[in-house]
A and B are shown apart, each in its own frame.
Chain A
Amino acid sequence: MTGTPFHLAVALDGAGWHPGAWRAAGARPGELFSAGYWTDLVTEAERGLLDFVTLEDTLAPQSEPFHRPDDRTDRVRGTVDAVLLAARLAPVTHRIGLVPTANVTHTEPFHVGIGIATLDHASEGRAGWRPQIASRASDAALFGRRTTPQLTDDDIRDPEAIARRLRPLFAEAADAVEVARRLWDSWEDDAEIRDAASGRFIDRDKLHHIDFEGPHFHVRGPSIVPRTPQGQPVVASLAHASTPYEFAATASDVVFVTPRDRAGVARILAEVDEAVAVTGRDLAARPLKRFADLVVVLGDTAAAAAERAARLDDLAGAPLASDAAVFTGTAAGLADLLEDWRAEGLDGFRLRPAALPHDLSAVTGTLVPELQRRGVFRTEYTSTTLRGHLGLARPASRYAVPAAG
């Protein structure tokens, strides 16, 4: 492999990111809630040597508008808890990173923190986490203990308007991630001593109260889960505007962005850099990996891909609309685009297959070999952990006192 490593992930969601995907040939719509379906997908992704898969999640059933529920019956509706799904997939995979989405607005940060830590134990060091805020009033009604700002139809036309309205939720989400990270650090690596002579299983001086105090919650700690294989699982977030860029700069190890073209890549990365500067993050100490999201509709020829896209649009009854750019074409064409965009400074890409399993198989079966031929993608896993794949060091516990001398 020449040059710096090229990172590649896939985002798995239901039958694929195209709303017509569940009706396409080869789809398995009746199995979307079964372990077998997801096992097939994630083992395929692992065959392609991908860095990680992300698993989408929502609290209530999905909806066409981003900000409020619909009552449509002609779209995939229903999800399983993504953290549990990732754990179910952990023993049937061996190298690929598993990055579930988990809500932080209506949940207890302690529960989420120990769930992700447990996923890291269950996967022996392959856990990530995409913290997600829940802004819909209808989501708040599922819990009945708070209200959240309701976005209007006007708000959602502009990512900056959304971000302004949701700024308090992002601030709270940053606190939730901070709590999780402190919990992950609350056991030092060598806390378990099993000292039969003194009868002590642990050295209690190596467990720490985290004593987080914020406007929305306090958490005393320490974690109930011992230090995990990665020390800290990898935190990833999706961002479209200044506030979420700042959230990523504060809280994330990986940020997913949504440029529409190469110029957009440059512009967005500059905005991310600015957010990093605003938050004072030291990138040498805590690198932030920058991935671009792309929806992909792949075919053996450009015409075949276009035909598939049109067919999916027909099945959905509407053309595909996405927050991310949509690539329709061949794997070779996609490889060209990835190399071109990456020259602006991206670390990698998160591809969203339009239809499963077709577009995932095209990524692993044709795109990956193409990238390997070009010498820009790994030909085997060289690490066993997600941090290892991404070239991120295993952090020391913030509470550990460096050994003297």
Chain B
Amino acid sequence: MPAGSNAGQPPPRAGQAKQVHLAVQLPGIHNVTVWTDPRSESQIAVDSFIRLARAAERGKFDFFFLAEGLRLREHKGQVYDLDVVGRPENLTMLAALAAVTSRLGLAATVNTTFNEPYEVARRFATLDLLSEGRTAWNVVTSYDAFTGENFRRGGYLDEADRYTRAAEFLSTAKELWASWGEDDLVADASSGEFVRPGAGRFAHHGEHFDISGRFGTPRGPQGHPVIIQSGESDAGREFAARDADVIFSKYSSLEQARPFYEDVKRRLAAYGRTHDDLKILPTATAVVADTDEEARAYADEITREQVSPQTAIAHLEGVWGRDLSAYDPDGPLPDVDPEPESLILKGHSVFRKGREETARRWREIAGERELSIRELMIEVHGGQTFVGSPRTVADSIDHFVQSDGADGFILVPHLTPDGLDEVVDRVVPLLQEKGVYREDYTGPTLRDHLGLGLPKETP
């Protein structure tokens, strides 16, 4: 969304203004990252993670988020080579970051398709203990046998099962976390009682999991991690309304974001939850410069770097399902038709469904505006969410939140590791000045930052 699209008067404030929540995602494998910039450093060295995490904590962000990808994307049968490739195992890197931060939440994406509840619950309980209550779990499912080729289970789950497995996986994990009561760890040297009898005992007999025994890791400070969910589908919204504390969305334009926000919040009541129990955080980018004009010029430059000629062709090939390397990225769209059944780019959800419709729409846009392949790709894939001076960006973020488009944002900087600095050092102080952003953390746990209470126990 270009700068200024959120223009308009903010709604009048009755009482206290809504508080903005901010989180950061280390830019990984998608083309948000401008790795060609000389300021771009390693995407895997621990120093990069530490610097970005410390910037986020300096900015009093709610959490640091890592996405997941358990198989490298492949393009025409070979590893995709145009974007940043390679990332750490999420929970392990976040455990290291727990040592160099003291308040920042630590959110890991872990899928329910190629994992088992016992192990995932144990690892999150560990991270919650070792971070003193700062963990979140972004619950996702994997979608194909392509990723399954790295795992014992393979790709046997069909579309419907992966969601029922996800739901049962989450409820089973909650049973495991609840298996240690708050007082079960006694550790009384004088009486000689270390644990209460039966601590950790559980039995779950369900459709996907039939497991029992004793859970080996005591309860973490948050009871269980903050639960994050993403997904725009009806089923995804319902899952989030029932189980999630945070929902990610892709709607970073206010006109799309408001209906989504209204719909998801409306669903909460059916589960006995209130408006504030679920935070809606779209993914967003911010380009900040001294003046609006400079920021716009810089944003254009970034976008062109993000959509290189090679990237433009690769994206087109993803939708067309065929080799288009003979086409000129600065020329018109190919006259050949897409092959919708052919998956030329594997491991990339964007190019999986509705590709005929996408191709039709792109042809329309390109035709109307006489766009080259690369110009079209910049139009449909590029674009920054917030562009402008620190004042403009702070006003836009505030306006978006006060207008009920979101409760805040997951910011994805285009530079690693220092791409968050402009927001932290120049935008955050203005949000604080407006009274819509915390001056300091008010509690030690991520649940505190998000204004969430302890989780309700699974009955």
Contacts and interface: CB of A to CB of B under 8 A. Distances in A.
A7 B116 CA distance: 38
A60 B216 CA distance: 4
Given A59-B118, A222-B72, A80 B217 contact: yes
Interface string B80-111: 11111111110111011011100000000000
Contact of A22 (B87, B187, B217): B187
Contact of B88 (A77, A85, A121): A121
Interface stretch (A198-206, A295-303, A361-369): A198-206
A122 B42 CA distance: 13
Nearest to A91: B99
Contacts of B214: 60-61, 69
Interface in A359-403: none
B44 to A, nearest CB: 5
Contacts of A92: 99
B324 interface: no
Contacts of A115: 89, 91-92
B87 A76 contact: no
Interface in A286-318: 315
Contacts of B125: 80
B358 to A, nearest CB: 23
B79 interface: yes
Contacts of A118: 88-89, 92-93
B195 interface: yes
A132 to B, nearest CB: 14
A85 B116 CA distance: 20
Interface string B177-194: 000100001110100111
Contact of A87 (B83, B93, B311): B93
B101 to A, nearest CB: 10
Given A23-B192, A121-B44, A201 B35 contact: yes
Interface residues of A, number: 80
Interface residues of B, number: 77
A81 B122 contact: yes
Contacts of B308: 199
B71 interface: yes
Contact of A84 (B91, B180, B197, B200): B91
Contact of B193 (A73, A124, A200, A226): A73
Interface stretch (A105-113, A157-165, A264-272, A328-336): A105-113
Contacts of A220: 71, 149-150
A142 B211 contact: yes
- Chain B contact surface mostly: loop
A110 B70 contact: yes
A241 to B, nearest CB: 26
A117 to B, nearest CB: 7
Interface stretch (B127-135, B253-261, B290-298, B445-453): B127-135
A49 interface: no
B105 to A, nearest CB: 16
Interface stretch (A31-39, A248-256, A273-281, A342-350): A31-39
A187 interface: yes
Interface of B: 35-36, 44-46, 50, 69-72, 78-89, 91-93, 95-96, 98-100, 114-116, 118-119, 122-123, 125-127, 129-132, 149-152, 154, 180, 185-187, 189, 192-200, 209-218, 308-311
27 contacts: A35-B98, A35-B129, A71-B197, A77-B199, A80-B130, A80-B217, A83-B92, A84-B92, A84-B123, A84-B127, A88-B96, A108-B152, A118-B92, A121-B46, A122-B95, A141-B212, A187-B86, A194-B35, A217-B151, A217-B152, A218-B154, A220-B149, A220-B150, A221-B150, A225-B89, A226-B86, A315-B192
The 8 closest A-B pairs by CB, nearest first: A199-B310, A87-B95, A220-B149, A122-B96, A29-B187, A118-B92, A226-B86, A81-B126
Given A34-B132, A60-B215, 9 more contacts: A73-B195, A75-B194, A78-B200, A78-B216, A109-B152, A115-B92, A123-B96, A143-B116, A202-B86
